[in-house]
Amino acid sequence: MKITGWVQKLCAVAVLSLVALPIFAADTGTPAEAKAMLEKVAAAMKINEAQTLAAIR
């Protein structure tokens, strides 16, 4: 059974993605940090929605 070129390329991209994923994930923070950031934004939105949206942009 011969594997076509596009299937080989697809497999290579999948393997490289799995290898590179932890490298990129290390720069993004933890789930706890994300939750804290989301809670902070939600609280700020209740106080002043326009100002919070301007700060995010």
**In contact, 46 and 31? CB cutoff 8 Å:** no
pLDDT band at 27 (very low <50, low <70, confident <90, very high): low
| Domain span holding position 10 | 5-56
* Helix (H) / strand (E) containing 53: helix 49-56
Is the pTM value of this prediction over 0.75?
no
Number of domains the chain is built from: 1
**In contact, 41 and 52? CB cutoff 8 Å:** yes
Residue 33 pLDDT greater than 80, yes or no: yes
For 41-56, how does the pLDDT look when each residue is reduced to its tens digit (9 = 90+)? 899 989 988 888 888 8
The backbone region for 4, taken as left when phi is positive above 0, alpha when psi lies in -120 to 50, beta otherwise, is beta
